């Protein structure tokens, strides 16, 4: 019998970057055009990574900006983070930088498993404001993984969630991972 492991992951980022759409695409396999700002919701999904089965609990948040005070529930008992910006919004890219710094401070500057996600890659040609290279460089400075995705075209959506599970195992997390 394979061991089922529990992982709790928070999705953070500026409003309207596609946090809910990514979670919804991954969990329910569909994309909704409408924009309904999330208060906060939790999704549960089982997934296999390699030979292991994981129970992933995803916390989809209301969205943050530079001034948001992050509650302790975003650092205590959290195994990993998806920091999401939109490739069409420079502001959202600035916001993930601030969020990363805040989290890093609040977690006592221990290394944290992070996947930096540049979403809305399908709009790349018309309205890109953040180059792929800039996202990659930022993730490198954090020692994090970087991926571009499209919740709309279901591009890299599963990959994001698989990666964060792999990162949690890779990073020596002071809260333990089991
Ligand atoms: P959240 O506030 O970060 O949770 O953002 P939502 O998931 O609610 O998405 C905000 C808006 O962007 C909605 O109108 C979505 O339909 C749209 N959206 C989300 N992801 C994508 C994407 O990958 N591509 C495109 N073109 N639109 C997206």
Residue 178 CA to its chain's centroid (Å): 20
Q: What per-residue confidence (pLDDT) applies to 82?
A: 98
* Number of the ligand 1 atom closest to the C-alpha atom of 119: 23
Model confidence pTM above 0.90: yes
User: What is the phi/psi pair of residue 120, to 5°?
Assistant: 65, 35
The CA distance from 144 to 137, in Å, is: 10
The CA distance from 10 to 139, in Å, is: 17
Q: Residue 157 C-alpha to ligand 1 middle, in angstroms?
A: 13
The answer to whether the CB of 112 is under 6 A from ligand 1 is: no
The answer to whether the CB of 30 is under 6 A from ligand 1 is: no
Virtual torsion, Cα 14, 17, 19, 21, nearest 10 deg: 160
The answer to whether the CB of 151 is under 6 A from ligand 1 is: yes
Q: What per-residue confidence (pLDDT) applies to 107?
A: 84
Q: What per-residue confidence (pLDDT) applies to 172?
A: 62
Q: What per-residue confidence (pLDDT) applies to 175?
A: 47
The answer to whether the CB of 24 is under 6 A from ligand 1 is: no
Determine the straight-line distance between the first and last CA of the chain, rounded to whole angstroms.
17
The CA distance from 138 to 141, in Å, is: 5
Q: What per-residue confidence (pLDDT) applies to 1?
A: 60
The answer to whether the CB of 63 is under 6 A from ligand 1 is: yes
Which residue is closest in CA terms to ligand 1's atom 8?
A: 35
- H helices of 63-127, in order, are 90-106, 124-127
Mean pLDDT per block of 10 residues along the chain (178 residues) reads: 85 96 94 79 92 94 92 91 98 98 88 96 96 98 97 97 95 53
The CA distance from 79 to 74, in Å, is: 10
How does pLDDT run across 16-45, given as a tens digit for each residue?
999 999 999 999 999 988 767 777 899 999
- H helices of the chain, in order, are 19-28, 90-106, 124-127, 132-142, 157-170
The answer to whether the CB of 154 is under 6 A from ligand 1 is: no
Task: Give, for 109, the enclosing helix (H) or strand (E).
Answer: none
Among 144, 49, 51, 127, which Cα is nearest to 86's? Answer: 127
Pairing of strands 80-86, 4-12: parallel
Q: What per-residue confidence (pLDDT) applies to 111?
A: 84
Q: Residue 178 C-alpha to ligand 1 middle, in angstroms?
A: 33
Predicted-complex ipTM score: 0.99
């Amino acid at each position: 019998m394979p061991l089922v492991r529990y992982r709790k992951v928070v999705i953070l980022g500026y409003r309207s970057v596609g946090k809910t759409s990514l979670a919804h695409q991954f969990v329910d396999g569909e994309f909704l055009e409408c924009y309904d700002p999330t208060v906060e919701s939790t999704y549960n999904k089982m997934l296999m990574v390699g030979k292991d089965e994981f129970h992933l609990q995803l916390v989809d948040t209301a969205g943050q900006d530079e001034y948001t005070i992050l509650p302790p529930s975003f650092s205590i008992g959290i195994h990993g983070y998806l920091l999401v910006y939109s490739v069409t919004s420079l502001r959202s890219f600035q916001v993930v930088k601030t969020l990363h710094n805040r989290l890093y401070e609040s977690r006592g500057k221990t290394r944290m498993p992070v996947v930096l996600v540049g979403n809305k890659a399908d709009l790349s040609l018309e309205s890109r404001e953040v180059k792929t290279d800039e996202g990659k460089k930022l993730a490198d400075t954090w020692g994090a993984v970087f991926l571009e995705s499209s919740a709309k075209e279901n591009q890299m959506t599963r990959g994001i969630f698989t990666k964060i599970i792999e990162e949690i195992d890779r990073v020596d997390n002071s809260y333990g991972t089991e």
